[in-house]
Structure 1
Amino acid sequence: MLAELSIKNFAIIESLSISFEKGLTVLTGETGAGKSIIIDAIHLLSGARGSAEFVRFGEKRAELEGLFLIEETAHPVYDKCNELGIDVSDGMIVLRRDLSSSGKSICRINGKLVTIAILREVGQYLVDIHGQHDNQELMNEENHLKLLDQYGGNKISKALEDYIEVFKRYETLRKKLTQLSENEQEMAHRLDLLQFQLDEINNANLQLNEDEQLLEEKAKISNYEKIYEALQTSYNSLHGEQRGLDWVSHAMSHLEDVGPINPTLKELSEIVSNAYYLLEDLSYQVRNELDSLEFDPERLNYVENRLNEINQLKRKYGQTVEEILMYAAKVEEELDTIQNRDSHVNKLQKELDSIMKDLVVEAKNVSILRKSSATQLIADIHKELKELYMEKTTFDVHFNNLTAHMTNHKFTVTGIDQVEFYLSTNPGEPLKPLSKTASGGELSRIMLAMKSIFSQHQGITSIIFDEVDTGVSGRVAQAIAEKIHRVSVGSQVLCITHLPQVAAMADTHLYIAKETIDGRTKTSVKALEKAEKINEIGRMIAGAQVTELSKEHAKELLELASNSKQ
């Protein structure tokens, strides 16, 4: 749930901090007081597009911050945050977004800087906003299949996973077959290019780690004088009369004489003796290095030319000699495939035919499960619509006509189904696509009916309704109020409303007001007590002037709401 919202220098809001509770919270107030601005702030926090226009006039930036409490340990937002490397502790997620007057946004999740795209990815698991003109998900038929799959739950998701696994193998084979079936001219050009590349690499006769060995050799030859002088000086310092080894030998001899006297002297004698033999062995190695050292200008030229040749190949085929040789192996394999194209095409076609049979089985299994879920969804939607006084409305889930021949199926990553919601709002009228049928008031009720069902399957933390009750009144308004409250039982619901029936159902009632101070408009939020609720609901009933009659009506609405919730 959204527990705390902080807004600073956003639109007409100078500074505002709001605490939210579980259940149904309604926001009411005069038109233009800033109710929708608060929802806009939450929308931006969940990754919506922002602009410099949101920054309060005369300020450099707007600051938005929201604290979400996630009580369910299995909530999908945890997996998403782990995937994105965002630490979530104590079941708390803090979203923050700063908007500058230049239009730039800085986004953070639990203190970590993120892009707007990542903010949106996490936000979609926390907030679901629906407005009076914001029914795109429902109106866009491309989303209907996703909604049906969500309703179907684990059965459909598991079957879809199995299908997608086979589909990926099918797509890989299909692309290979398509490439091999290109026209002769393109294939001939490809063949020439691959043969040239393979010849160029093979003619270089590369050896693994050759470039590293050549670099070492180049460094050795290029620094011949410096190395020779260092080795010669080191050897002379160790060998000869009155040199290093001679003096260590003297020390070793004297310590050996006194070593038997006590254990400490014996230990010192052994250490010096070991050091002497170690240095002696080291001096022989220095001498061997000195003897093997030679300066060969021609060899240096060869090494430099060879390194240049290898570097030319690296620019084309890989960062290392190993990558170049791996590329050559790939080219050789592709050459063999093209040169023996007919046999490879036949082999791929057989594999594709075989995997297509599996794909059809998996796709039809998904389709059967979807149709079964669709039948149940239709029954549930009709039940919800009846409660919203749309009992004469007919809802249907329309599937495209699938052909019996598997070769005619159009396979996509979601299967072979195309799904669209159809509706008929009047008896005797034919079913038509939802987007072309419903009026504004009807659409609000249909969306609410679907949200009542889908909210149980989406796992959204907070659901926000922004004046979805527009265009309704009377008993329909009461039904909508009861429906919104029912949704709030499983999810936190925030609702902007002008309907007294909805306001009466609230578990928490926030009143949004604005006032002018020093020539600037400021917005404030106040949680209403019982007497204040009566006055506000009375204002919503009567309009500008609150009468005793409207207050009595408000009390009656609150009592009815209390009985309904119980």
Structure 2
Amino acid sequence: MLTELLIRNLAVIDEVQVPFQPGFNVLTGETGAGKSIIIHALSFLVGERGDPDLIRTGADTLLVEAVFDLGTCPQVRAVIAELGVELDDDTLIVARELHRSGRSRCRLNGRAATLAMLRLIGKAVLDIHGQHEHQSLLDPANHLRFLDAFGGETVTALKERYIALYRQLQQVERELTDLQRSERERIQRLDLLRYQADEIDRANLRDGEEEELVQERQRLVNAERIAERIGRAVDRLTGDGGALDALGDALHALKEVADFDPALQAWHETLMQTMDSAQEVAFALERYARTLEFDPDRLEEVESRLDLLRRLKRKYGDNIAAILRYRSEITRELERLESSEEHLERLQQERDRLRAVLAEVARELSEARHDAAERMAKAVQAHLKALMMERAKFKVAINHLPDPDGLPLPDGTVAFGRDGVDRVEFLIATNPGEPLKPLAKIASGGELARTMLALKASLPRTHEIPVLVFDEVDVGIGGRTAEAVGEKLREVARYAQVLCVTHLPQIAALADWHLQVRKVDDGQRSRVVVTPLHGDARVQEVARMLSGKQVTPTSLQHARELLQRAARATAAARGG
């Protein structure tokens, strides 16, 4: 419910804080006092376009801020949660500012928000009805939702089953579309992968091969230089006067004195080991030199193989191991692509099965809706009768749209969507002899307001919107009709908070919470004051509404009687 509304610098309002209560709230006051500005402030708060010209003269910014208690509104809390807004003790504070530049700023519980977020919340928490405003009940797009709410558990269960099947069908059709759309791409991909697999397989790669080839290439390219350097090294070791001769002389010299000192004996042994190692190196170098041969044919083979590896690396990976991993990936993708034809057939069979089941559930859901439509039409018509529209006719029209690609039903193949196959629209004829017309085409403001009220009264327990706002609900009515409208508003207020701007005392007297809106002139500027009325103050206001500006003893007495009668009627309606 709406607990408080703050308005600052909007039209003639400098600053006003409006408290609201559960149940039936009315705003009364003389014409031009600013009652409709308060309703306009609510519309602005939940996303209506803001006009900088509405900012009070001398101010730069207008502000509207509302406090909602969502303790009994789980469906609204769910919307809030989806938007990522945290609630503090089920309290939601919605604020919107408008600057003269046209720039708007929105906040939810003190955090920055977008105008789109405010509109989403507005649709969930507020339903505002003016004389010719296109609100939820005027928009045929919403009529199906109201009919389903009226239909109760039977319709709800069928709709949930239908939606689950519809989502499954959508998923299957998306997969089918992707497969069919990409068939040419699939064939092209198969050709490419097969070519790549063949190219890699023909290369007969071996991990570590590249390093071995690089080393072999080095030997082949430098064979002559290596042989020349090895020859020189062997000559320095084994030639006359070479290292081995020098080591032999050194050994002979040490041997002559080794017996004189154990240390000399150890060095003699070390030198012998060195000489053995030098001889071994010399022999090994000679053997290696005999294997060296410059082979241009082998060099060409090695160069060609390395070039192939470089090309494969550019295409498939940084090294042979990476190329071999990619080859494994090719195998897996080929298996998937080659099996997609079977997958396509399975999906087509699943699609046909789901469409058949969906068509049957859609038929059952449509039948349940037709039954609910008849009951709803009778309920609304009964409320219209109570609202002094005895001769009005109301109908819930359900139609199907032919579609050759739709679902097969007894009346043909029809279009279908997330909510089923039914196109629902509320129709009404307010006078005898008139054809049934859409709600939006009702000419009389009073008839429109009462029709809205009858619809609301028909959906009290299932209605999802916790705050209902009626502006000019009393247009063109009076007397007993006004009392009937007030009683119906009070009835609706048992299940939702109702805010109503009214000029009629019969309606105001039935309210649970009465707010008076006055325009005060201090001699320089006008401002708006909102005052909760109790006791004698409320009697005075109802008397003014009865007689005009001049309140008389008779009008005061009439006001007391009206309020007492309303109190008794309210107590009786509530069982007490």
**TM-score (normalised: structure 1):** 0.70
Say yes or no: does 1:26 pair with 2:31: no
Please say if residues 24 and 494 of structure 1, whose CA atoms lie closer than 8 Å, have aligned partners that are also in contact.
yes
Which of 444, 452, 458 aligns to 1:453? It is 458
Which residue is 1:383 aligned to?
Answer: 382
SS in 2 for 1:535: helix
Q: 1:476 to 1:201 in 2, by over 3 A?
A: farther
Q: 1:455 to 1:135 in 2, by over 3 A?
A: farther
How far residue 145 of structure 1 moved from its aligned partner, in angstroms, is: 1.0
Which residue is 1:529 aligned to?
Answer: 534
Amino acid at match of 1:480: V
1:227-376 matches, within 5 Å, as 337=340, 340=341, 346-376=345-375
How far residue 535 of structure 1 moved from its aligned partner, in angstroms, is: 2.5
Which of 458, 469, 472 aligns to 1:467? It is 472
Which residue is 2:290 aligned to?
Answer: none
SS in 2 for 1:27: strand
Which residue is 1:130 aligned to?
Answer: 129
Q: Aligned partners of 1:50 and 1:485: how far apart in 2?
A: 32
Q: 1:437 to 1:507 in 2, by over 3 A?
A: closer
1:5-404 matches, within 5 Å, as 5-72=5-72, 75-177=74-176, 188=184, 190=185, 194=189, 337=340, 340=341, 346-400=345-399, 404=409
Please say if residues 359 and 409 of structure 2, whose CA atoms lie closer than 8 Å, have aligned partners that are also in contact.
no
Which residue is 1:542 aligned to?
Answer: 547
Q: 1:371 to 1:31 in 2, by over 3 A?
A: same
Which of 426, 430, 443 aligns to 1:425? It is 430
Which residue is 2:510 aligned to?
Answer: 505
Please say if residues 198 and 332 of structure 1, whose CA atoms lie closer than 8 Å, have aligned partners that are also in contact.
no
Please say if residues 400 and 414 of structure 2, whose CA atoms lie closer than 8 Å, have aligned partners that are also in contact.
no
Please say if residues 397 and 425 of structure 2, whose CA atoms lie closer than 8 Å, have aligned partners that are also in contact.
yes
Which residue is 1:230 aligned to?
Answer: none
Q: 1:434 to 1:80 in 2, by over 3 A?
A: closer
Please say if residues 132 and 468 of structure 1, whose CA atoms lie closer than 8 Å, have aligned partners that are also in contact.
yes
Q: Aligned partners of 1:202 and 1:480: how far apart in 2?
A: 81
How far residue 399 of structure 1 moved from its aligned partner, in angstroms, is: 1.4
How far residue 109 of structure 1 moved from its aligned partner, in angstroms, is: 1.8
Q: Aligned partners of 2:60 and 2:331: how far apart in 1?
A: 58
Q: 1:411 to 1:144 in 2, by over 3 A?
A: same
Gaps in structure 2 of 5+ consecutive residues: 201-309, 318-324, 402-407, 572-576
Which residue is 1:491 aligned to?
Answer: 496
How far residue 553 of structure 1 moved from its aligned partner, in angstroms, is: 2.7
How far residue 482 of structure 1 moved from its aligned partner, in angstroms, is: 0.9
Please say if residues 126 and 469 of structure 2, whose CA atoms lie closer than 8 Å, have aligned partners that are also in contact.
yes
Q: Aligned partners of 1:326 and 1:82: how far apart in 2?
A: 43
Q: Aligned partners of 1:204 and 1:110: how far apart in 2?
A: 64
SS in 1 for 2:517: strand
Please say if residues 125 and 459 of structure 1, whose CA atoms lie closer than 8 Å, have aligned partners that are also in contact.
yes
**TM-score (normalised: structure 2):** 0.69
SS in 2 for 1:494: strand
Q: 1:550 to 1:401 in 2, by over 3 A?
A: same
Gaps in structure 1 of 5+ consecutive residues: 206-303, 312-321
Please say if residues 24 and 485 of structure 1, whose CA atoms lie closer than 8 Å, have aligned partners that are also in contact.
yes
Q: 1:100 to 1:479 in 2, by over 3 A?
A: same
Amino acid at match of 1:499: L
RMSD: 3.6
How far residue 470 of structure 1 moved from its aligned partner, in angstroms, is: 0.7
SS in 2 for 1:414: coil
Q: Aligned partners of 1:436 and 1:61: how far apart in 2?
A: 38
Say yes or no: does 1:410 pair with 2:415: yes
Q: Aligned partners of 2:465 and 2:313: how far apart in 1?
A: 60
How far residue 201 of structure 1 moved from its aligned partner, in angstroms, is: 8.8
Amino acid at match of 1:452: A
How far residue 406 of structure 1 moved from its aligned partner, in angstroms, is: 8.7
How far residue 363 of structure 1 moved from its aligned partner, in angstroms, is: 1.2
SS in 1 for 2:481: helix
How far residue 106 of structure 1 moved from its aligned partner, in angstroms, is: 2.1
Please say if residues 180 and 345 of structure 1, whose CA atoms lie closer than 8 Å, have aligned partners that are also in contact.
yes
Q: CA offsets per residue over residues 518-560 of structure 1, 9 Å max, x none? A: 6332111112233222332222222343333333332332222
Please say if residues 360 and 406 of structure 1, whose CA atoms lie closer than 8 Å, have aligned partners that are also in contact.
no
Q: 1:32 to 1:445 in 2, by over 3 A?
A: same
Q: 1:326 to 1:66 in 2, by over 3 A?
A: farther
Please say if residues 194 and 335 of structure 1, whose CA atoms lie closer than 8 Å, have aligned partners that are also in contact.
no
How far residue 490 of structure 1 moved from its aligned partner, in angstroms, is: 2.1
How far residue 456 of structure 1 moved from its aligned partner, in angstroms, is: 2.6
Q: Aligned partners of 1:517 and 1:198: how far apart in 2?
A: 87
Please say if residues 398 and 425 of structure 2, whose CA atoms lie closer than 8 Å, have aligned partners that are also in contact.
yes
Q: Aligned partners of 1:330 and 1:496: how far apart in 2?
A: 69
Q: CA offsets per residue over residues 403-423 of structure 1, 9 Å max, x none? A: 745971211111011112222
Amino acid at match of 2:40: D
How far residue 356 of structure 1 moved from its aligned partner, in angstroms, is: 0.7
Q: CA offsets per residue over residues 273-298 of structure 1, 9 Å max, x none? A: xxxxxxxxxxxxxxxxxxxxxxxxxx
Please say if residues 425 and 438 of structure 1, whose CA atoms lie closer than 8 Å, have aligned partners that are also in contact.
no
SS in 2 for 1:460: coil
Computing the radius of gyration over CA atoms, which structure comes out larger, 1 or 2? Answer: 2
Q: CA offsets per residue over residues 485-536 of structure 1, 9 Å max, x none? A: 1112222211111112111112222111113336332111112233222332
Please say if residues 5 and 17 of structure 1, whose CA atoms lie closer than 8 Å, have aligned partners that are also in contact.
yes
Tell me whether 82-91 or 344-353 shows the greater mean CA deviation: 344-353
Q: 1:12 to 1:344 in 2, by over 3 A?
A: same
Amino acid at match of 2:8: K
Q: 1:437 to 1:84 in 2, by over 3 A?
A: closer
Q: Aligned partners of 1:203 and 1:46: how far apart in 2?
A: 65
Please say if residues 52 and 100 of structure 2, whose CA atoms lie closer than 8 Å, have aligned partners that are also in contact.
yes
Q: CA offsets per residue over residues 377-397 of structure 1, 9 Å max, x none? A: 122112211211222222121
Tell me whether 349-358 or 156-165 shows the greater mean CA deviation: 156-165
SS in 2 for 1:124: helix
SS in 1 for 2:529: strand
How far residue 196 of structure 1 moved from its aligned partner, in angstroms, is: 8.4
Q: Aligned partners of 1:543 and 1:422: how far apart in 2?
A: 38
Q: Aligned partners of 1:192 and 1:379: how far apart in 2?
A: 61
